[in-house]
Structure formats: structure tokens, C-alpha cells
Homo-oligomer: A and B are copies of this chain.
Amino acid sequence: MCRFLAYLGTPIFLSDLVCAPAHSLIHQSMHADEGKTPTNGDGFGLGWYGEREEPGLYREIRPAWSDENLRSLCAQVRSRLFFAHVRASTGTATTRANCHPFGLGRQMFMHNGQVGDYPRIKRRMEAMIPDGLYEHRLGTGDTEAIFLAAMADGLAEEPVGAMGRTLGRVMGLMRDAGSSQPLRFAAAHSDGTALTCFRWASDDRPPSLYWRRVADSVLVVSEPVDERSAGWQKLAPNHVLVARPGAAVEVRPFGVLSDM
């Protein structure tokens, strides 16, 4: 498992969420409460939108709790839309290329969960990525494969539909491989304008996701970074949240077509 957070709103310093709160993401890298493991020490990553077309990406294999670069960077960088992720590997190697978030052009994506029996279907998941996108496959993990496959199916234009279809295809591969393990999927996507967060599982145990709206800002987290529990709302299983600047947050049912 992993832990992550995504923010959209008035530009703030990344440290306001990644470092400062009592149960910040850095704190969660060693003491997560609701994840599969308390430790998420297999690397971390930041992605943030600034002045450029493409977001900045900073991914490192060191545990987040011991990286001074992470703290310095978060203290300096202000952003209106950013992702942060601490990783607990579900089997693939601890390399920068397997850390989240993943970026392609203006798109960013990160995930917490698992693809059941991934080693057995890894090859077929990679086959879902068309040639033109395959050169962007730098790692060996399931999240990157899902991201690139979904990009091929319109993730940049209509993330909800594209991800629903892509997860459906992955479920098909798992079924064809005779897997009895679940696909668990808490994830976030952005195109630099909107933030789309998914919470879905093929069983009844999707990884946790909470969200909070304060004035113009929306924050989505694996687990609350502070104790103001009154402000946090759970994202219901099998739902998707879409946040856009200046618009109300949308929460809708999200389904996956398993027969594709």
C-alpha cells in the first residue's frame, strides 16, 4: 500500500500539507494508520503545476522521513495543484521510475492499491500500451502501466470514462489469468486544471480516501493529515470525485465494465 494527497486551490506551499501537519504525509511514511502497513518507506514523489506546461516531478527512493531535499523543496515551492505520494511496494523494485506520481506531458497520475496477481498479467497489461506511448514506460510497476493504457484510451480528455474502461480491461486480464485476488484502486489524475480522484475495488475493500473543501481549495487524502475530523468526508467506495477551479466538487458513482 501507499499513502497520498492531492490539492487543488489557492496556491499554497507544498509543506503546508506534506510536512507541517501532525499527521503529514511525511509522518504517514513511517506511521500510517489506515494503510496496509504503517511503513511507506519505498520512496516518495511530488508533482506540482507551476508556470510551465508540464508539471514538475521529484521522485526519490529514500524514505520520505529522512530526505532533507524533500523538506527544503516543499518549503519553497508554492502550487495551485499538486500531488504527493509515499510508497510501500507491492513487489516491484524500489527505483525512481517506480515511484509516483507518473507524468506524461501535462498529465499526472498516482495510485494506492494493488493489481491482483500483477506478475502474471504484467506482460498483457503492458500490451495495452500502444507503441507511441510505450517508450514512456520507464518502470516495471502496475500503476505506470494502468496510466499509460488509460492515456491511450482518452485519460487526458475524459478521465472517468477512460479509467473505467481501462480498469475493466485489467479486470479481464486478471480473470483470464485465473486470478482470485482483488483489484484495489484509490487514485488521482490531473490534466493541470481538474483533479479527478477514484475510489474503487473489485472486492469490498477499496483503499481509504477522504476529502475536504475549504473556501476555494479541495484536498484529497488517503488518511486525514490533521485531527479536524469534522471537516473530512469519506469518499464512498466505487465513487469518483472531480474538482475544478471555481466549481462545486462533484462526487458520482464510478463503475468498471468487467466484461471488456
Interface residues of A (CB under 8 A from B): 30, 37-39, 41-42, 48, 50-52, 54-63, 65-66, 68-69, 72-73, 75-78, 89, 93-97, 119, 122-123, 131, 134-135, 137-140
Residues of B contacting A122 with CB < 8 Å?
134-135
A51 in contact with B39 (CB, 8 Å)? no
A72 in contact with B58 (CB, 8 Å)? yes
Q: How many copies does the complex hold?
A: 4
Residues of B contacting A56 with CB < 8 Å?
72-73, 75-77
Residues of B contacting A119 with CB < 8 Å?
135
Max chain B C-beta neighbours (<10 A), residue from A37, A41, A78, A137:
A41
CB distance from A209 to the nearest CB of B (A): 25
Q: Complex Cα distance A61/B66, Å?
A: 10
A41 in contact with B41 (CB, 8 Å)? yes
Closest residue of B by beta carbon distance from A37:
B30
Residues of B contacting A134 with CB < 8 Å?
122-123
Residues of B contacting A61 with CB < 8 Å?
62
CB distance from A199 to the nearest CB of B (A): 27
Contacts A62-B61, A69-B59; A138 near B77 (Cβ below 8 A)? no
Contacts A38-B38, A62-B61, A138-B93; A76 near B75 (Cβ below 8 A)? no
